[in-house]
Chains A and B, each alone.
Chain A
């Protein structure tokens, strides 16, 4: 069992090439080291949850894969292709925009604060990229978008503008907008952290349905431990810029090995039990 998680094999034991490979990836902002020589493989269809204290670098991990942040050192491969580099005459050089554009098409991302396009209807939010990025016909894009919006339970909102939607609804649109592009890997960057507690559930259930559908690999950066435990094949604990521990949800949540993970989990459980009160007051502040 241990071998399955830590070794170079995909979760179902069949030998497969990873869809994403981080190799000695580091990131610093000025003199602050956010990530330090990270090695990480994600297999096709695998669901990886990333947990850890804020500032542990977990969001940066996803943002580098989405090409929103450039690694300071190391390489990332997507589907066997280097993401931030390209080979020119046997030498690795920084990737140009065209190369980034090609590789980026395999990655999709959902943000903490949704970032829907406020000037477009819900339907257009979802059809815009298929039409203008993938070159799909309007009819086909619309059909696919409507299908996606039905899956996330928003068929009745297609003609509304984002400002008329609740946070949970907005996030579900954002999920539909990203998934309709059919990426190989979906990144969820604290997708429920900005939501009122009562709206978290609807978004998590949409993500669960997507996870159950299977074929997409997912990297979920999350503070929802129960959720991580439920859908992840593998949980990764990051702290101070390193992957401190990884394993199945059972291993991580029930038999944590490192003192840092133990401390993190106990701290987390404390705040969890002491109440939704604190959580609720935080989200109230945000509003």
Chain B
């Protein structure tokens, strides 16, 4: 049955790898944003070929499981001489996968900017790049921050998948602890608890952000 002293004994070991889980989330999320924005711009491109290519890529990535993509990056690509560390492969996989969702989020933000803003930018003779960086994106991004926050939390909860490509994160550590002592209850419960303790306050924060942007 549940053993408190054992739980406290393994807690530091789990807490030790928590930064890896968090780092994978943060870097993965940054990659998702960095890839998602160009993807949404490509999707809106006037050149049909680029737009359809982006659409095809988005549909393909979304319609295949993240776990398969991670395996592909980590186990299959080295056959072609491209190999990543577990962390790099994990972050790249998360980033690629979620960039297809982030691109839709960016798109909704961009579409919500009134047409008049584009016209005003043109009338003042802003070039394409300036129109994006100075006029459109600063208006498109703030309203989608809550949605981005939700994806951040979702990604955080997906990081245990990275244990499948040997990244020593929370779940992997718990498994190791369990298989060493044959006590899985405490280890997995603590993993769940740690995720909950970080996710729940974050989702409360996102909820507050949402309310703030609605009021505006």
Contacts and interface: CB of A to CB of B under 8 A. Distances in A.
Q: Do A and B come from one complex?
A: yes
Interface stretch (B94-102, B119-127, B150-158): B119-127
B96 to A, nearest CB: 31
A-B interface, 10 closest residue pairs, ranked by CB to CB distance from nearest: A115-B120, A115-B116, A129-B124, A109-B123, A119-B138, A133-B125, A104-B125, A132-B130, A105-B125, A66-B123
Nearest to B135: A117
B123 A178 contact: yes
- Contact size class for B? 10 to 19
Given A117-B135, A119-B138, A132-B134, A111 B126 contact: no
Interface in B12-71: none
B192 to A, nearest CB: 41
Nearest to A177: B124
Nearest to A124: B134
A199 B89 CA distance: 61
Main secondary structure on B side of the interface with A: helix
B135 to A, nearest CB: 6
Interface string B122-164: 1111111010001100110000000000000000000000000
A129 B124 CA distance: 6
Interface in A104-147: 104-105, 107-109, 111, 113, 115-119, 128-129, 132-133
Contacts of B122: 66-68, 104
A111 B116 contact: yes
Interface of B: 114, 116-117, 119-120, 122-128, 130, 134-135, 138-139
A129 B126 contact: yes
Contact of A68 (B119, B128, B135, B139): B119
Contacts, number: 53
Contacts of B116: 111, 113, 115
- Contact size class for A? 20 to 34
Main secondary structure on A side of the interface with B: loop
Contacts of B139: 117-119
B125 A101 contact: yes
Given A68-B119, A108-B123, 17 more contacts: A66-B119, A68-B123, A97-B128, A104-B125, A109-B123, A111-B116, A111-B120, A115-B116, A115-B117, A117-B139, A128-B124, A129-B125, A129-B126, A132-B130, A133-B126, A178-B123, A181-B124
Interface in A186-244: none
